[in-house]
Amino acid sequence: MSAASPSPLLPTFARVGVSFERGEGPWLITPNGERYLDFAAGIAVNSLGHSHPHLVKALQEQAAKLWHISNLYEIPEGTRLAQRLVDHTFADTVFFTNSGAEALECAIKMARKYHYANGHPERYRIITFEGAFHGRTLATIAAGGQAKYLEGFGPKVEGFDQVGFADHEAIDRAITPETAAILVEPVQGEGGVRPIPAHCLRGLRELCDKHGLLLIFDEVQCGMGRTGKFFAYEHSGISPDIMAVAKGIGGGFPLGACLATFNAGKGMTAGVHGTTYGGNPLAMACGNAVLDVMLEPGFFEHVRQMSLLLKQNLASLADRYPDIIDSIRGEGLLIGIKAKIPNGDLVAALRHENMLSVGAGDNVVRLLPPLTIDESHIATAMQRLEKACQSLSLQNGQSPKA
């Protein structure tokens, strides 16, 4: 195909002209053998890096036995994965999906059905937050409330009320007799790596208890070890009633899950919800293999240590390049660099140094490395960040501060 011929792909992504043939841990390798340090991890998906031997083995063994069998039958590896998630979280019950948006769809339907089952079908509205991202289905773009994702797709799905980020009074005012739940990311990812302070999460829990609302956490991005705990809500000392999980849970295999208490899930009886692929044997083999690694003693402690080291280094970088970097924020290995120049320029400059990162809202560059990185990868990342800042600083007509 000549370079000029149009791509056969629907152009919904502004793709960068680079492709990779294989991966090794936090490294991605192009067909020419060029190596990139992957601090994007497929947007927090490759939680254990690329080609993790335990994951490769689990998928290969399962592929030789059984790929798919309908949810009409028992899937023992799925029951086992659900039990392990239940044993390590607030939840009593799990529904597997193929993606984050589907996990959110399940959470939204579950919250509505809960109140319906309690004799309150009028309670179907869900409060969400400005800057939120919950996926790209019709309901989840309505929940996220971002004009750029809603535009042109017809009437917005009814039943979502958005309030300002951390605007406590607005949350109070938004609660009506029709409110079913509050939906929030404990750390906003796409919105620009904005952690919700623990006391605010506790405040939301109290509000929900006071008004009989369900508290739904979207931990699609911030869950699965990303913040240095299995799930981000553990930092706050409270737990949700329903939680959507995806991204890191499959280590790269498409997998999501909606976790809930028995009480919150009470309306979800046989036949009311379903999925063809969700929780199939290939996905369950990968999900269990990810947990085998993450639940080993010391795994989350390692994430916290690497986070501390990376953040210390980034703070010093920010001091040296005040014309490029405004501030550093985030939890664990979900780190945001708020840029003073357009964030896309920093992402591009890093890519020029063979390092991958991801843009986010609020002019932030996200660093989402595999959770398995060590000190040497952080040292390499810092060298590349330094070079990128240096070249941008020179373009800005300034020399770095000594």
Ligand X SMILES: *Cc1c(COP(=O)(O)O)cnc(C)c1O
283 belongs to the binding site for ligand X (CB under 6 A) = no
The least CB distance from residue 155 to ligand X, in Å, is 22
184 belongs to the binding site for ligand X (CB under 6 A) = no
The least CB distance from residue 53 to ligand X, in Å, is 25
The least CB distance from residue 337 to ligand X, in Å, is 18
Choose, by CB under 6 A, the member of 100, 252, 287, 359 that binds ligand X.
100
**Helix-helix angle 375-395:299-320, to 10 degrees:** 20
Residue of 37, 49, 21, 50 lying closest to 387 (CA atoms): 37
Residues 188, 337: Cα–Cα separation, whole Å: 14
Choose, by CB under 6 A, the member of 131, 189, 248, 330 that binds ligand X.
189
185 belongs to the binding site for ligand X (CB under 6 A) = yes
User: In terms of CB distance, is 59 or 224 closer to ligand X?
Assistant: 224
Q: What is the 3-state secondary structure (H, E, C) of 192-213?
A: CCEECCHHHHHHHHHHHHHHCC
User: In terms of CB distance, is 131 or 349 closer to ligand X?
Assistant: 131
Choose, by CB under 6 A, the member of 46, 62, 89, 99 that binds ligand X.
99
337 belongs to the binding site for ligand X (CB under 6 A) = no
Stretch that binds ligand X, among 86-94, 160-168, 185-193, 360-368 (CB under 6 A): 185-193
Span 222-261, contacts to ligand X by CB under 6 A? 246-247
In the numeric block, which tokens belong to residue 121?
């079908």
User: In terms of CB distance, is 97 or 380 closer to ligand X?
Assistant: 97
Phi, psi of 292 (to 5 degrees): -50, -40
Contact, 240 vs 209, CB < 8 A? no
In the numeric block, which tokens belong to residue 39?
């601090």
Q: Which residues contact 324 (CB under 8 A, 6 or more apart)?
A: 339, 340, 341, 346, 389, 392, 393, 396
Cα 305-310-315 angle, rounded to 5 deg: 125
Residue of 240, 290, 357 lying closest to 81 (CA atoms): 290
The least CB distance from residue 187 to ligand X, in Å, is 9
Binding mask 120-139 for ligand X (x = CB under 6 A): -------------xxx----
42 belongs to the binding site for ligand X (CB under 6 A) = no
User: In terms of CB distance, is 130 or 323 closer to ligand X?
Assistant: 130
Burial 40-67 (b: 16+ CB within 10 A, else e): bbbbbbbbbbbebeebeebbeebeeeee
Contact, 69 vs 76, CB < 8 A? no
Choose, by CB under 6 A, the member of 146, 221, 236, 393 that binds ligand X.
221
The least CB distance from residue 117 to ligand X, in Å, is 26
Which residues of the shown chain bind ligand X in the complex (CB under 6 A)?
A: 99-101, 104, 133-135, 185, 189-190, 218, 220-221, 246-247
